[in-house]
Amino acid sequence: MTKIDLKKIKRISMLIFLALAVLFTVGAWDRIVEIRILSLPFYVTYGTILLLLGLALYLYLTHLQTAEKKGRHPFGMRIFETLHKYRFLLEQLVTRDFKVKYKRSVLGVFWSFLNPLFMMLVQYVVFSHLLNIRGDIAHYAIYLLCGIVIWNGFNDCSMQSLRSITGNAHLITKVYVPKYIYPISKVLSATINIVLSMVPLLLVTLVYGLIANPHLYLSEAVCLLPFALFLLLIFCIGIGFILSCLMVFFHDIEFLWSVFATIWMYATPIIYSLSMFESRAAWLVTVMQFNPMYHYINFVRTLILERTAPSFLEMGITALISFAMFFIGFFIFRKFQDKFVLYL
């Protein structure tokens, strides 16, 4: 394995942890101060938890440094070594996929800004004025745009990762590279578009608040957007592992997934609100809790429209869904990856 600089990794990791801790604290502060445990403010416990997590990370990275000097490879070392060894390939794959998407396009990357805006305008006119589906949804344009950005991002990640193994068969059959690199690279390249799509979402929210509704504005809760996107990324990688694996053995999955994704989209409250069903189909509100995409879209809408952080329970559920899907996908992918060569 390639020699890595654990001292540098330790320094960068601690800085990232500190930055994320500050972002999360600022974004979720209103939730932190409203909780009390045994008549004590929760922020006392919260500060202690952050210190313990930071100390645990520091001690773990120190342990890796000590183990490296002794020639041992503890848990986690192989992950750092693999990422370090194949970082250039991963970077090239992500760059290639991103460039290919906008190849020979006049506007190029600007379609990442324009596409969600055009879709929002069309759906706003159709569902708000022609079909009158909006009901009592406040700030319907922003409500729509939040759902469109998150759903399009997820759909792009899943469709690109679907052919990540079969599309790189010429590399997989000739050069040894950890096969999970390919679906991860596809998801990462699609994630760039999600991040770019967040720019028009935030700009439209600012303009809408200044011109149409002065009561709508961006609050400090928007600092939690990176966490929402990170959880969506983890979920998409897990889905990507499963889809890319199935695609190797069953090519029909490409067409089946397209149909399933369409059904999933309409089963997710993107153009409508669950409040429409509370009086006539209350069971549907409960069933929707099992729809993963509902939680990611609701996470972002809470930050943008309600200008507050989701409850810790909601954030915990979203994180649980993300990591559960990631490990399920990784387990399935790892179990069948050795058979890929026989079917490519």
At residue 111, the pLDDT reads 65
Query: What does the pLDDT read at residue 70?
Result: 74
Written as one string, the DSSP assignment of 234-254 is: HHHHHHHHHHHHHHHH-TTHH
Answer whether 245's CB lies under 8 Å from 336's CB: yes
Per-range mean pLDDT, top range of 15-29, 67-81, 125-139: 15-29
Backbone region of residue 74 per phi and psi (left: phi > 0; alpha: psi in -120 to 50; beta: other values): beta
Residue 74 is predicted with a pLDDT of: 66
Rounded to an integer, the average pLDDT of 8-19 is 89
In sequence order, the 6+-apart residues with CB closer than 8 A to the CB of 324 are 238
Least Cα distance to 229 among 202, 201, 191 occurs for: 191
SS3 146: helix
Confidence band, pLDDT 50/70/90 cuts, at residue 87: confident
**Radius of gyration over every alpha carbon of the chain, rounded to an integer in angstroms:** 22
Structure tokens at 124: 């706003």
pLDDT band at residue 117 using 50, 70 and 90 as cut-offs = confident
Tokens 């490879």 sit on residue: 73
- The answer on pLDDT for 112 being more than 80 is no
pTM for the model: 0.89
Q: What are the CA-CA distances from residue 241 to residues 205, 234, 251, 286, 329 (Å)? A: 34, 11, 15, 28, 5
- Across the range 234-260, mean pLDDT stands at 91
- DSSP letters of 270-332? SSS-GGGGTTT-HHHHHHHTT-HHHHHHHHHHHHHTS-SPPPHHHHHHHHHHHHHHHHHHHHH
**And the tokens for 330?**
């990784």
| Better pLDDT: 83 or 37 | 83
52 pLDDT band, cuts 50/70/90, is very high
How far apart (Å, rounded) are the C-alpha atoms in residues 87 and 126? 45
Is residue 1 predicted with pLDDT exceeding 50? no
Residue 41 pairs with which residues in a beta bridge? 36
For the record, the structure tokens of 128 come out as 């708000």
Contact 63, 76 (CB under 8 A): no
**pLDDT value of residue 16:** 92
Domain boundaries, the chain: 1-85, 86-343
Half-sphere exposure at residue 4, Cβ-oriented, CA atoms within 13 angstroms:
24
> pLDDT, tens digit, for every residue of 175-222?
778 888 889 989 998 888 888 888 888 888 888 777 766 667 778 889
Residue-averaged pLDDT of the chain = 83
Q: How wide is the angle at C-alpha 323 spanned by C-alphas 152 and 183, nearest 5°?
A: 55
- The region that residue 108 occupies, defined by phi over 0 for left and psi between -120 and 50 for alpha, beta otherwise, is left
**Which comes out higher in pLDDT, residue 18 or 80?**
18
Least confident of 11-15, 65-69, 330-334: 65-69
Those residues with Cβ within 8 angstroms of residue 343's Cβ, 6 or more apart along the chain or in another chain: 248, 249
Residue with tokens 């909006």: 134
Q: Please say if the pLDDT value at position 3 is more than 70.
A: no
pLDDT at 323 (0 to 100): 95
> Tokens in use for 15?
């800085």
Strand partners, 36: 41
CB 122 within 8 A of CB 145: no
pLDDT for 236 equals 94
Instruction: Please report, to the nearest 10 degrees, the dihedral formed by the alpha carbons of residues 291, 293, 294, 300 taken in order.
Output: 160
Name the percent of the chain lying above pLDDT 70.
87
Lowest mean pLDDT: which of 106-115, 170-179, 272-281, 315-324? Answer: 106-115
3-state secondary structure 152-196: HHHHHHHHHHHCCCHHHHHHHCCCCCCCCHHHHHHHHHHHHHHHH
Note the pLDDT of residue 176. 79
For the residues 136-154, what does the mean pLDDT come to?
86
* Statement: residue 332 has pLDDT above 70: yes
Are the CB atoms for 97 and 54 separated by under 8 Å? no
Grade residue 315 by pLDDT with cuts at 50, 70 and 90: very high
Q: Which amino acid is at 96?
A: R
What DSSP character marks residue 139? T
